[in-house]
Structure formats: C-alpha cells, structure tokens
Structure 1
Amino acid sequence: MIWEIDDSARAVEGLDGRGRPMPEYAATLGLRRAPFGRRVLSTSIELGILLVLQLPVLLVTLPALLSATASPDAAAALADTGRLGLVIACGAASAALTTAFVVVQLVLHGRKGVTVGKAATGIRSVNVRTLERPGFWRGAVLRYLVLYGSFLVPLVGPVLVIACSPLFDPERRGRGWADLAGATWFVDARDGLNPYDVKRMRIARKTAATDLADERSELRSLATSATPPGTGAYIPVTRSSGGVVGAPRTDAYAATAEVSGTDAAPPASVSAPAPSPAAVAPAGAAPAAIAPTAPYSGPGIPWTPPRLLPDASPAPAPALAGPPDAPATPARQSSPADPATPGVVLEFDNGARIALAGSGILIGRDPAAGPGDAGLALVPLDDPSKSISKTHLALLRTDGSIIAIDRASTNGSAVIRDGVEHALPPGQGIAVRSGDTLLLGERRARVRIG
C-alpha cells in the first residue's frame, strides 16, 4: 500500500482568498503549460508500448482462437493441434506484462509526476494547488479511471473527455475533465522550470516572495518629531534605502558638533542613550561598530550601522570621526572626476566587471531605486540561477570608505576577508577594502580599489 501524507493543513503559496490556485503565481515561478503536441506524442508513446505488450496475444493467441471457432468443438480443435499450451502461455504473458506496465505507470505518475511517455517528451505532472507531486490515489488512479471510463462510450466518450474538454478550461491551462478530477496540471520541464528540481524551485519561490515584498515596501520619512534637545531624539545624518546612519541628539553633543551629512558618531566622552562608538578594531579583534544604533528604513528589518572587519595584516583605516574636542567635519561626497578618489571595481566570477560610479550603486537582477536612493546608479546583473534578489546589495562611497549594505536579499550577502567569511545581516553595512570578496547569493565578486 502506498501511504499519502495529508498536507492540506499547511500553508500553501499561490492560492487566492477562496483557496483556488492562481495561474499568475505559477507563471512567476517559471512554470509553463505543456504543449498540446508533446502531450499527444507522450500518449502515443505509451499506447505504442501497450501495443507491443499485446503482440503475443495478437500473433499467437488471437489467430488460434479464431481458427478454433470455425470448428464445432473449439477446445478439441486446440487440443488436437497441440497449441493449447502455447496459446495459454502467450495470453498469460501478455496480461502480466500489461498489468505490470500499468501499475508502474501509476506509481511513477503519483510519486514523481512522470511516466515513460512524459519522461521522453519533457513533461511533468504536478498537483495544481501545491505544485508538488500529484499523489497516487487522486492524481494517478482517479485520473486514469476517468480516462478509461470514457471508452465505455465508443468514439464519443474519448473524443469528448480527452480532446474537447481541455478547450473549456477557464484558466487556459489545458486541463481536461480527467485533470480536474485528479487536480493535476501538466507542465513543460524542458523549456520551463522543472518543478521537481528542488533547489531551483526553492529559489524561485523565495524570489517570487521577495519581489512581492519589494513592490510593497516603502521607505519611511526622515522627518523627526519636535523633541527638545537633550532627550535623545534621533537625528538622521546619511540616508539610503539600504538604511539610515544617524546619531542621538544630546545637549553636550549638540554643543560639540553640528551633524551635517556625516556618518561620524558622537564623541566617546559624551554620555548618550545609545551605545558609545568603538575605536578602530586592532588585528584579530572582533568586528566593531562605528556608529550608534539607528532605525532601519526597510520593511521590518533592524538597522545596525557599518562595522569594521578584523584585519590579519595591519593597515591604516580611514578616519571616521574627528577628535572629541573638535567639531565634526561634514562628509564630502566623492565623484569619479575627483583625482583623489580611488577607483573601485567589482570583478565577478563570470568575468563581468562593475565600476563604482558617483556616490554608490545598487546591484540586483532588476534593481529599483527608492526615495532615498538619489544619485545611486542602478546596475542589473544577469543571474540564471536566480540566487540574486531583485535589489540585492548597495555599495556606497561614504567619507572615504566603501560600505556594502545588504538590501534584505533572499539568499543573503557576506564578505570574505583573509579566508574568513563574515555574514552581512540585512540593513547592516560593512566597510570593505581591496582584496575582499563579496558574496551575493551564489555569485562572487572581488573588490579592487585603486
């Protein structure tokens, strides 16, 4: 007995409010309707195999029975010719082979969504609601009972059920009455997404969910409430759709420096509600934050400021804040035309090269700029594996540093330095340097500066 797991209680993606499957969701994943011509070819292959299995009956059993019927005593006529044993053996062999073939077809269809003909023509069968295996009893047995039952009405039944009923499918998926009874749908695994490729199907589902979230997400305004100084009100100082860098407002800090377009943190000597900034981490130390915590402007993801990675070989780090007794210096936005600005190039594993233009770039399959992304160049990146999100990573040039910020990507981002991989949480920036490797999903890019 083949046991089935009832998965009706779990949440199913791609259903409308009434629990009906949405064709547009399947199209977003990359699933395509199986062509009618290949479906006919698949059925023809399977009927041809059944015909071959009937050859012992057609060549031996049937002629012997026809010749025996001409005699008054059919059994005596077969026994006299000495062919009775051969007739019975050929009939039994044909029946056994046909039964075994039909059972194997049903099991393969129910468990793997494939039969001999469908495997040869690149077609797969799925449950139309879950887009997974059809199931043995309903998806295979019930469907084939409807098909074979149509032959009870010669000629009219097969033509109506097999040939005409798919034309009345309101969803235009080519699903006939047998498919409606079995809740099955035939898809093209040759030119479209193979629904039984677990890895690609998982990535497609995550990508579809991420694209929907990207379309609905909006950046919050930078406007702050009119809170008197000294109460810890948040002051935004630098903003992009990858996050917001800011500082808490205090009387002592306001008297020390005027925050204007810089990601410098308050002096360490000034007491503030937010954590005090840490100095540049020495070699081998744990990653250190370089700005106090501030809210992230994306959908439900906490923002934490950029951090410095441990460096195995000591190198001078860019100054991120002035001395405690000096006013903070406003950030200077560099441009490619500035001779003091080093060139930044990303060298991808497929040979593509992307240069950092202006104040920064947005990288993804189809990056979209938000209200806070003014001046950022959009860089679309071809990714057949679809491991890169629609808007995956922001690379910003801020006060002499190059900051990488993950944009809530589905498959995540990371920085590899000196052979150690450092995860890049959504909304948190990491200062990168020449020689680092950026991971964007399954893609790698080498950072070249200078």
Structure 2
Amino acid sequence: MIWEIDEASHRVEGLDENGRARPEYAASLGLVPAPFGRRALAATIEAAVYVVLQLPMLFGVLPGLIALATAPSGTVLGGGDLVLIVVLAAVSTVLSTAFVITQLTLHGRRGVTLGKAIAGIRSVNVRTLERPGFWRGAVVRALVLWASFAVPLIGPLLVIALSPFFDGEQRGRGWPDLAGATWFVDVRNGLNPYDAKRMRIARKTVATDLADVRSELPSLATPADERGTTAYIPTSRSSGGVLGAARGEGAPADESAAYAPATVAPTAAPVTPQGPTASAPVASSAPQSPPVVPPATAGGGSAWVPPRLLPDQEADAAAPAAAAAPAAQAPAPARRVAAPASAPASSRASTPQAASAAPAIVLTLDNGEEVRVEGPGILIGRDPALIPGGPALALGAITDPTKSVSKTHLAIMRSGTAVVVIDLGSTNGSALLRDGSERTLGPHEQVALRSGDTIRLGDRHARIRIG
C-alpha cells in the first residue's frame, strides 16, 4: 500500500465543532493570557518612543508654522528658517514611518514589538496559536486601534481600556484583537508559543493525554482484501527469509487458520513405526488440537515482531538444542514441532546451565538509575505493557516528565549469544550512539548491542553494560 501525504493541508488543533478556538486547549498547552498591567506597559513604551520621534516636529516645525501664521501680513521667513523647518519635518516623518512599519512587520511575522518584548508578551493567532500574520494580525488590528483616536478621549477609553472586559471567552481580547484574530500571551509565566520544540512537545503531550490508547501494530502477513483477492501467507521460515503461498477466494475466514504452518506435527510423543508400513503416516481418529501458530505470527496478526538470529549466530544457537536431543529421534525439518503460542519466548529457552551462562545486562540511565535486565529481555517505556503475542519480557518503567518516551518504547532482548535492541514504533524514535556516531533505529528494526553503547529514547539516554 502506498500512502500519499498532502503537505498543503494543515489540521488546526484545539477547535470546537463550530471552528472556534477552545480556551481550555490553550490552557492545557501551558499558554497563559497576558495580564492587563503589562499590556498597558507595552503600549506606554511604544507610545513614548513614537512621541520621541515626533520631537523634531513638535519643537521645530510646529513653532515655525505658528510663527508664520501669526506674523504680520507681508512678513516672509528667512531662507535658513524655512530650510530648517523642512529638514525637521522630513526627519520626524521618516523616523516615525520606519518605526511604524518595523512594528507592524515584527508583530505580523514574529508576534512581538518593542513594548511587548520588554514586557514579556507575545501575540499569536487565536485559532492556530502561531504567528498572527501581517495583514490581518498587524495591519487590520492597528487600523481599528488608530481609528479609535478619531473620537478624542471617549474612543480610546472604550476601544482600548473597556472592550477587553466584554470578552465572552475571558481572554482579555479587545475589539482590535477580535478584528485581527490575535491573542496576547505571557511568556514569563507560561509557555512561549514561538519555542518550536517545547510547543511541539506540549501538543504531543496533550494529544497523548486526550487519546492515549495502544494501537495494534501491523502483522507480518499481508492483510487480505475484503473481496478475497490473492494475498501472501507466510508458511515457513529459513535463514534466507520467509516462504509463502497465495491465498485465493476460498481461503478460510479465520486468520489464525490461514497462518498455520503447512505441516503440523502431532503433539503426542513420536512413535517409531515397525514392519512394512514404516514409511506410511500414522492415522488417528482422535480430535486434533488447534493448529500450532508459529512464533513469527503468534497472536493472529499481533503487534509483536520477534527478533531473528543473526546469520553468524544461527549455528551457535542451534548447536545446544541439537546436542540435547537423541540422534535417533532427531526430527526432519518439515516435521519440526513449534512451541505452543501461549508459551513465552523465554519458556523455550535452553537448559538452566545455558541461562546461567548468559551475560548480565545493565542499563544506566542519564539520571544515574540502573535497570538490570533479567531473563530473555525487557520492555522499556513510561508505562510498558506486554505486547499481545509477544514474549513475556520484564517491564521497566522510567520517568519522563516531558513524555518524549512512549509508553512501550523499545525492547532489549537476548538473541542467541547476542543482545539486540528493537524500537517498537515509538513516537519520538530511538537511536544508537557508538564511537561518537549516532544511528537512528527504524520501527521494529533490531540492532546488536555492544557493551558501552548508549541508547537514546526520546529525550532520555541509557548506557549499556553487558557482562
């Protein structure tokens, strides 16, 4: 199956059924509304700067114009005075225009102005919680704000000072903010929405808390089409891969029956036939037990992907089992009996001598805490749980306040004489750090570990000691 991703689409989170922003979603991210005191401080600072830029106009141009207007008829100003008035007017106009354009650009693109930066305030779009935008977030809001000064005293008092108290969402958004779809947040006491990394973690944390359910990971087998088209069915394994067969229209509906091995040996003890019928199979009228599910598909399309022995370790792992079985009863490869599906992988281990000879595995976390791996392996995460169809591994819970570590993040297992790490499709991924280089682990990819390696899982790290 080929998945297509529409990069142009952008899903906005935190909206209700009517498309309006939900204040509780922003509060759950850690965004705090800006207090009125610091909003007034930011506006006062910006107004003071604007007045300073108008000083040449106030103390140079305006007195000259008043003198010209009140002078007796026929009086003409000197050439030097006229040039001075024009220069001061030009300087004041250019500086004021540059200041206003800079303020609007910074507000629209970065959500900050001179006064907001000093007061610890940022402006965001109320729906997307991202930058406000130049035209609506900055220009439209500024036009509504400046239009209030058309009515002296009453206009600014109503639009700037009183309109925030009429906000039904209790966010303190006045009429200019409603026109520009903006919202002012406090970055000193809350989350800075322009900190991309922390904002991403906060969104993932809220999404995990709202719908934190474990999803079934894909099966090793290709799922069958609803119309019953031909599908690939794994029937047996070899060191070179998986052998399969095609299933057509008449395939059984039960997935576990479809995944059963091609040849199932009886669970009773093997009987050595005698006489001329030694080559014929033994027929039995007794009811047979359910088909034995091979370990690779235990659980009927479950999430577990068992680790495969490395090619150079298959012979070493098979040697103890071959030596323990009598030579006379060594079964042929086609009649090898698989372990029951309910038995964990660790129960199919070899003798106690082999278990005691296994090297010790110790994980040292970045906070100094040590986790010792007992038995066949361990599942590590914030709140790990056994995977359906997987082996009965130990559970190792680690603390992660930022929730960058998934609930069941990765597995560390013994695979023959090797120790492997397997990422279980975690949200923030895993990586192996060795000799100064970092290798990212793909979902369900197993990589052999060495003593001294470091594993990165989310924002946490763990150092491996083997032996």
SS at match of 1:86: helix
Of the two structures, which has the highest relative contact order with CA contacts closer than 8 Å and spacing of 6 or more? 1
Alpha-carbon separation, structure 1, partners of 2:177 and 2:431: 46
* C-alpha contact (below 8 Å) 1:219/1:370 kept by paired residues: no
Pick aligned residue for 1:184 from 159, 182, 191? 182
Q: Counterparts of 2:438 and 2:318 in 1: how far apart (Å)?
A: 24
Q: Find the counterpart in structure 1 of residue 154 from structure 2.
A: 156
Equivalent residue number for residue 251 of structure 1: 264
Cα gap change, 1:23 to 1:390, in 2 (>3 Å): farther
Provide the residue aligned with 2:306 in structure 1.
Answer: 305
Q: Which amino acid aligns with 2:176?
A: A
Residue matched to 1:344: 361
Aligned to 1:412: 429
1:168 aligns with 2:166: yes
Give the direction of change, closer, same or farther, for the CA distance of 1:15–1:356 in structure 2 (3 Å limit): farther
SS at match of 2:157: helix
Q: Give distance in 2, aligned partners of 1:310 and 1:445.
A: 27
- The SS at the match of 2:307 is strand
Amino acid of the structure 2 residue aligned with 1:136:
F
Equivalent residues of 1:108, 1:115 under 8 A apart: yes
Per the TM alignment, residue 368 of structure 1 is displaced from its structure 2 partner at its CA by 6.4
Distance 1:123 1:88, change over 3 A: same
Match of 2:62 in 1: 62
- Seen in structure 2, the aligned counterparts of structure 1 residues 100 and 59 have a Cα distance that, compared at 3 Å, is same
* Residue equivalent to 1:136: 134
Structure 2 residue identity aligned to 1:423: L
Write out aligned runs for 1:279-318 (5 A): 291-294=295-298, 302-308=303-309
Alpha-carbon distance change, 316 to 370 in structure 1, aligned in 2, over 3 angstroms: closer
Cα offsets for 1:172-194 (capped at 9, x unmatched): 32221111111111223444433
Report the Cα offset of residue 252 of structure 1: 0.9
Give the CA deviation at 1:370: 7.6
Conserved? CA contact 1:306–1:431, under 8 Å: no
User: 8 Å contact 1:307–1:431 — kept in the other structure?
Assistant: no
| Map of 1:106 onto structure 2 | 104
In 2, the alpha carbon distance for the partners of 1:188 and 1:130 equals: 17
SS at match of 1:94: helix
Matched, 1:193 2:191: yes
Contact residue 261 and residue 293 of structure 2 kept, 8 A? no
d(CA) in 1 for partners of 2:320, 2:197: 45
TM-score norm. by structure 2 comes to 0.65
1:175 & 1:310 partners in 2: Cα distance? 66
Q: Which residue of 2 aligns with 1:376?
A: 395
Where in structure 2 are there 5+ consecutive unaligned residues? 1-6, 218-251, 271-290, 323-329, 350-354
Q: Give the Cα separation in 2 of the matches to 1:39 and 1:140.
A: 16
**As a proportion of its length, which structure holds more helix?**
2
Deviates most, 129-138 or 401-410:
401-410
Unaligned runs of 5+ in 1: 1-6, 221-230, 236-245, 258-272, 277-290
Shift of 1:374: 10
CA contact (8 A) 2:68 2:77 kept: no
CA contact (8 A) 2:260 2:293 kept: no
For 2:423 and 2:155, locate their aligned partners in 1 and report how far apart those are by CA, in whole Å: 59
Q: Secondary structure at the match of 2:34?
A: coil
SS at match of 2:296: coil
Could you tell me how far apart the structure 2 residues matched to 1:172 and 1:150 are?
22
- Between the aligned partners of 2:47 and 2:316, the Cα distance in structure 1 is 73
Residues 97 and 422 of structure 1, relative CA distance in 2, 3 Å threshold: closer
Q: Is residue 425 of structure 1 aligned with residue 427 of structure 2?
A: no
> What TM-score do the two structures reach when normalised by structure 1?
0.67
Q: CA deviation at 1:395?
A: 5.0
C-alpha distance in 2 between matches for 1:193 and 1:315 = 53
Query: How many angstroms apart in 2 are the aligned matches of 1:256 and 1:21?
Result: 69
Contact 1:206–1:410 at 8 Å: present in 2 too?
Answer: no
TM superposition shift of 1:155? 1.9
> In structure 1, how many angstroms separate the alpha carbons of the residues matched to 2:260 and 2:449?
22
- Mapped pair 1:18 → 2:22: no
- Write the deviation string for residues 130-156 of structure 1: whole angstroms up to 9, x where unpaired: 222211211111101111111122222
Which residue number in structure 2 is paired with residue 446 of structure 1? 463
Q: How high is the sequence identity, in percent, across the aligned residues? A: 52
Count of aligned pairs: 380
Deviation at 1:51, TM superposition (A): 1.0
C-alpha separation between the residues in 2 aligned to 1:194 and 1:320?
Answer: 60
Name the CA distance, whole Å, in 2 between partners of 1:137 and 1:333. Answer: 68
Number of the residue aligned with 1:93: 91
Distance 1:23 1:390 in 2: 28
Contact 2:423 2:441 in 1 (8 A): no
Matched position secondary structure for 2:127: coil
Aligned-partner residue type, residue 367 of structure 1: D
Cα pair 1:247 1:292 within 8 Å, conserved: no
| Equivalent residue number for residue 264 of structure 1 | none
Contact 1:304 1:429 in 2 (8 A): no
Amino acid at match of 2:44: S
Query: 2:355 aligned with 1:354, yes or no?
Result: no
SS at match of 2:130: coil
3-state SS of paired residue (1:124): strand
How many angstroms apart in 2 are the aligned matches of 1:203 and 1:371?
26
Q: Counterpart of 2:307 in structure 1: which amino acid?
A: P
- Which has the greater radius of gyration? 2
1:122 to partner: Cα distance: 3.2
